[in-house]
Amino acid sequence: MKIDRISLIFSLLLVLQACGTSQKELNAEKRAEVIAVHDEVMPKMGQLKSFEKRALQRADELTAMDPIDSVKVQEMKNLALELDQAYEAMFTWMRQYDSEDGERTPEEVKAYLDEQMVSVSEVNRLMKATLTKADSLLKN
C-alpha cells in the first residue's frame, strides 16, 4: 500500500510538471522581452546622431563667438562623445547578440538571455539618459 501511494504521488508530480510551462517556452518569452527592450530605443538611433551633429555645430559656434570660453565648448564636445558612445553601445550589443540557440541546453539559453537582458537594459538606460541630457543642453 505504501508503494502504491508513492507511485501515485510520483505520477501526479510528473503529470503536473508536464502541464507546466517548459523552459523552451519560458526562453521564448524571455527572448521577446529582450527584443522589446531593444525595440523601445532602436528608433531613437537617428536622434542620437542628430543631437551629436548639433552638439558639434554648437561647439564650433561657441568657439567662433568666444575662443577663450573653452568650458562650454568642451561641454558640447563631451556631449557629442557621449551621444556617439550611446549609439555605438547599441550597435555593439546588436553585433554580439545571438538569436540562435544552437547547441545550448534550455538552461544555458536561459542564462544567456538573462545576461542579454542586463546588457540591453543598460544600453536602453544609457540611450535614454544621453538623449535627455542632450535635449536639455541643446535647448539653451
pLDDT, one tens digit per residue, over 58-110 is 999 999 988 777 899 999 999 999 999 999 999 999 999 998 888 999 999 99
Q: In the structure grid, which three cell numbers stand for residue 11, read together?
A: 505520477
The full set of domain ranges for the chain reads: 22-139
Helices and strands: H and E segment counts in the chain: 5, 0
pLDDT, one tens digit per residue, over 21-54 is 788 899 999 999 999 999 999 999 999 999 999 9
